[in-house]
Amino acid sequence: MAPEAPQPPFTPSPDARRAASVAMGRSDTEAGLDLAALRSERLARVRAEVKKRDLAGVLLYDPINIRYATGSRNMSVWTLHNAARSCFVPAEGPVVLFDYHNCDHLSEGLETVDEIRRSTSWYFFSAGWRVEEKVQKWADEIDDLLRQNGGDNRRLAIDKCDPAGTWALEERGVALSDGQEVLEQARLIKSDLELQAMTHAIAVAEIGMERMREALRPGMSENELWAILHRENIARGGEWIETRLLAAGRRTNPWFQECSAHLIRPGDLVSFDTDLIGPFGYCADISRTFHCGPGKPNETQKRLYGLAYEQIETNIALLRPGLTFREISEKSWTLPASCTPNRYSVVMHGVGLCDEYPSIYYAEDWDAAGYDGVIAAGMTLCVESYVGEVGGDEGIKLEQQVLITERGVERLSRFPYEEDLLPARWL
Amino acid sequence: MPNSHPSPESVLPPSPDDTLGGLEWTPLRRKRLDKVRQALQAADVAGLLLYDPINIRYATGSRNMTVWTLHNAVRYCFIATEGPVILFDFHGCGHLSRGLGTVDEVRPAIAWFYFGAGARGPEKAKQWAAELADLVQRYGGGNKRLAIDRCDPPGSFALRDHGLVLEEGQALMEVLRAIKLPEELELIRQSMVVCEAGMARMQDALRPGLSENELWSLLHETNIAKGGEWIETRLLTAGSRTNPWFQESSDRVIRPGELVAFDTDLIGPFGYCSDVSRTYFCGPGKPSARQKELYGLAYEQIETNIPLFRAGRTAREIAEAAWRIPDRFLPYRYGSLAHGVGLCDEYPRIAHDIDFAASGFDFVLEPGMTICVESYIGEPGDSEGVKLEEQILITEGEPVNLSTYPFEAALLPARWV
**Among A residues 246-305, those touching chain B with beta carbons less than 8 Å apart:** 250-251, 253-263, 275
pLDDT at A31 (0 to 100) = 79
Q: Is residue B396 pLDDT above 90, yes or no? A: yes
Q: For residue B221, list chain A residues with Cβ-Cβ distance below 8 A.
A: 227-228, 230-231
Q: Is residue B136 pLDDT above 80, yes or no? A: yes
| Alpha helix stretches (DSSP H) within A82-191 | 124-127, 131-150, 163-171, 179-188
How many residues does the structure list for chain B? 417
Q: Is residue A53 pLDDT above 90, yes or no? A: yes
Contact A370, A361 (CB under 8 A): yes
Facing residue for B171 by CB, picked from A78, A124, A354:
A124
Q: For residue A81, list chain B residues with Cβ-Cβ distance below 8 A.
A: 52, 54, 70, 344
Contact B301, B325 (CB under 8 A): yes
B70·A126 Cβ contact <8 A: no
3-state SS, one letter per residue, for chain B: CCCCCCCCCCCCCCCCCCCCCCCCHHHHHHHHHHHHHHHHHHHCCCEEEECCHHHHHHHHCCCCCHHHHHHCCCCEEEEECCCCEEEEECCCCHHHHCCCCCCCEEEECCCCCHHHHHHHHHHHHHHHHHHHHHHHHHHHCCCCEEEECCCCHHHHHHHHHCCCEEEEHHHHHHHHHHECCHHHHHHHHHHHHHHHHHHHHHHHHCCCCCEHHHHHHHHHHHHHHCCCCEECCCCEEEHHHHCCCCCCCCCCECCCCCEEEEECCEECHHHCEECCEEEEECCCCCCCHHHHHHHHHHHHHHHHHHHHCCCCCEHHHHHHHCCCCCHHHCCCCCCCCEEEECCCEEEEEECCHHHHHHHCCCCECCCCEEEEEEEEEECCCCCCEEEEEEEEECCCCCCEECCCCCCCHHHCCHHHC
Q: Is residue A21 pLDDT above 90, yes or no? A: no
Cα A369-A371-A377 angle, rounded to 5 deg: 135
Chain A CA closest to residue B233: A75
Give the helix, strand, coil percentages of chain A, each rounded to 5: 40, 20, 40
Q: Is residue A253 pLDDT above 70, yes or no? A: yes
Distance CA A271, CA A383 (A): 16
B221·A230 Cβ contact <8 A: yes
Taking phi first (over 0 means left), then psi (-120 to 50 degrees means alpha), and beta for anything else, what does residue B35 get?
alpha
Element containing residue A203 per DSSP (H, E)? helix A192-215
Q: Is residue A153 pLDDT above 50, yes or no? A: yes
A391·B3 Cβ contact <8 A: yes
* Percent of the residues in chain B that have a pLDDT greater than 90, as a whole number: 92
Reported as a single tens digit per residue, the pLDDT across B151-187 is 999 999 999 999 999 999 999 999 999 999 999 999 9
Contact A163, B148 (CB under 8 A): yes
Which pLDDT band holds residue B261 (cuts at 50, 70, 90)? Answer: very high
| Alpha helix stretches (DSSP H) within A236-298 | none
Q: What is the largest CA-CA distance in chain A?
A: 80
Facing residue for A125 by CB, picked from B174, B217, B235:
B174
Nearest CA distance, B222 vs chain A (angstrom): 7
Contact A309, A399 (CB under 8 A): no
Q: For residue B95, list chain A residues with Cβ-Cβ distance below 8 A.
A: 254, 256-257
3-state SS, one letter per residue, for A326-359: HHHHHHCCCCCCCCHHHCCCCCEEEECCCEEEEE
Nearest CA distance, A6 vs chain B (angstrom): 40
Distance CA A143, CA A56 (A): 11
Which of A159, A149, A142, A193 has the alpha carbon at shortest distance from A46?
A: A159
Name the amino acid, one letter, at B318.
Answer: I
Contact A394, A361 (CB under 8 A): no
**Among B residues 96-135, those touching chain A with beta carbons less than 8 Å apart:** 96, 111, 113-121, 124
Pairing mode, if any, of strands A287-291 and B345-350? unpaired
Question: Does A191 contact B at CB distance below 8 Å?
Answer: no
> For an interface test with B, which of A22, A66, A77 has the most B Cβ atoms less than 10 Å from its Cβ?
A77
Give the residue-averaged pLDDT of A234-255. Answer: 98
B170·A78 Cβ contact <8 A: no
Which pLDDT band holds residue B16 (cuts at 50, 70, 90)? Answer: low
pLDDT at B9 (0 to 100) = 35
Cα A405-A414-A412 angle, rounded to 5 deg: 25
Which pLDDT band holds residue A25 (cuts at 50, 70, 90)? Answer: low
Distance CA B191, CA B269 (A): 5
The CB density around residue A376, as the number of other CB atoms within 10 Å, is 13
Reported as a single tens digit per residue, the pLDDT across B309-329 is 999 999 999 999 999 999 999
Pairing mode, if any, of strands A155-158 and A57-60? parallel
Contacts with B284 (C-beta within 8 Å, 6 or more apart), sequence order: B208, B256
3-state SS, one letter per residue, for A116-129: EEECCCCCHHHHHH
| Average pLDDT of chain B, as a whole number | 94
Q: Is residue B229 pLDDT above 50, yes or no? A: yes
Instruction: For residue A387, give the DSSP letter.
Output: E
B2·A75 Cβ contact <8 A: no
B171·A131 Cβ contact <8 A: yes
Which pLDDT band holds residue A15 (cuts at 50, 70, 90)? Answer: very low
A260·B154 Cβ contact <8 A: no
Distance CA A285, CA A383 (A): 10
Nearest CA distance, B414 vs chain A (angstrom): 32
Reported as a single tens digit per residue, the pLDDT across B342-364 is 999 999 999 999 999 999 999 99
Which pTM does this prediction carry? 0.94
pLDDT at A3 (0 to 100) = 42
Chain A, chain B: beta-carbon pairs less than 8 Å apart: 255
A227·B67 Cβ contact <8 A: no
Reported as a single tens digit per residue, the pLDDT across A222-244 is 999 999 999 999 999 999 999 99
pLDDT at A426 (0 to 100) = 80
Q: What burial letters (b/e) apply to A47-69, b meaning 16+ CB within 10 Å?
A: bebbeeeebbbbbbbbbbbbbbb
Instruction: For residue A253, give the DSSP letter.
Output: S
Facing residue for A178 by CB, picked from B154, B233, B349:
B154
Q: Is residue A121 pLDDT above 70, yes or no? A: yes
Contact B246, A106 (CB under 8 A): yes
Distance CA A401, CA A410 (A): 9
Nearest CA distance, B121 vs chain A (angstrom): 10
Instruction: For residue A259, give the DSSP letter.
Output: -
Contacts with B403 (C-beta within 8 Å, 6 or more apart), sequence order: B192, B195, B196, B274, B276, B390, B391, B392
| Alpha helix stretches (DSSP H) within A71-130 | 76-81, 124-127
Cα A32-A74-A92 angle, rounded to 5 deg: 75
Contact A39, A110 (CB under 8 A): yes
Which of A249, A207, A255 has the alpha carbon at shortest distance from A228?
A: A207
The CB density around residue B25, as the number of other CB atoms within 10 Å, is 17
Nearest CA distance, A75 vs chain B (angstrom): 5
Q: What SS3 state is found at A276?
A: strand
Q: Is residue A18 pLDDT above 80, yes or no? A: no
Chain A CA closest to residue B177: A125
